[in-house]
Amino acid sequence: MTLAPAWAPDGLVPVVVQAEADARVLMLAWMDAEALAATLETGDVHFHSRSRDRLWRKGETSGNVLRLVRLDLDCDGDSILATVRPEGPACHRGTRSCFDATAAAAGPGADAAAEPDADAAAARDNRQGFAWLEDLWMTIEQRARTRPAGSYTSSLLDGGVDAAGRKVTEEATEMLMAAKDDAAAQSAGADRAATTSALAGEAADLVFHALVLLAERGVEPRNVLEVLRQRHRG
């Protein structure tokens, strides 16, 4: 991808960021030549932070990165449209978009004026780190392409839908059993450290094997996420 923006005298161009799934505008930021090069090289959207006067990888502290789909120049070449797959909220308030309305917009004296900030802070504190699943998927996808000898993932893929599907069924059953063990420990007032750890382990196995099954079928997780988004909006 080659872009030649008409840089402003300060070396910047504005960047409008929109989600690939539904074209929702997420934020407005700025790029310089360094940020543009870093974005194209890594596939993660970078900006120039005017307040800190430095290169800024979106999500470098929060984990809410923007995965690049494409960049397009406007008709004058002096602004960029970045189509992305966001991993988490784009706004520092914890909302999906910087343009999402909040109760605070109602003005001073609104009863719920303080609610959005508290909700956003709670959302930031409760982030789960799902962005790392991108790394796991990239590893699985690489195994699907190269099929290295001795790889457990490769052996599942080589076994076709039955091999991967059998493991999904097994892990789902084992997760259920682990959940029941944890529920029994809770009812008995026992220490749950071992049972919650076991449940987390079985859940991890289930997620991994579900991703392998998707890879075996050539179905990308973004399709699953889009279904979840549609159901959430409904």
Please give the model's pTM, rounded to 2 decimal places: 0.54
CATH topology of domain 130-233: Helix Hairpins (1.10.287)
Q: What is the mean pLDDT of the chain?
A: 87
- Helices of type H across the chain: 33-42, 115-125, 133-146, 152-158, 160-187, 193-217, 221-233
Predicted confidence at residue 121, as pLDDT, reads: 47
pLDDT over 90 for what percent of the chain?
Answer: 66
Query: Taking the chain, what is the end-to-end CA distance rounded to the nearest angstrom?
Result: 36
Q: What is the residue extent of each domain of the chain?
A: 1-96, 130-233
Give residue 230's pLDDT band: very low, low, confident or very high (50, 70, 90).
Answer: confident
Question: Contact 32/99 with Cβ under 8 angstroms?
Answer: no
Please check whether the domain covering 1-96 is classified as CATH 3.10.20.810: yes
pLDDT tens string 169-178: 999 999 999 9
Give the residue carrying structure tokens 């549609």. Answer: 230
- Of the listed ranges 23-37, 65-79, 94-108, 123-137, the least confidently predicted one is 94-108
pLDDT at 68: 95
* Sign of the alpha-carbon dihedral angle for 130, 137, 228, 222: positive
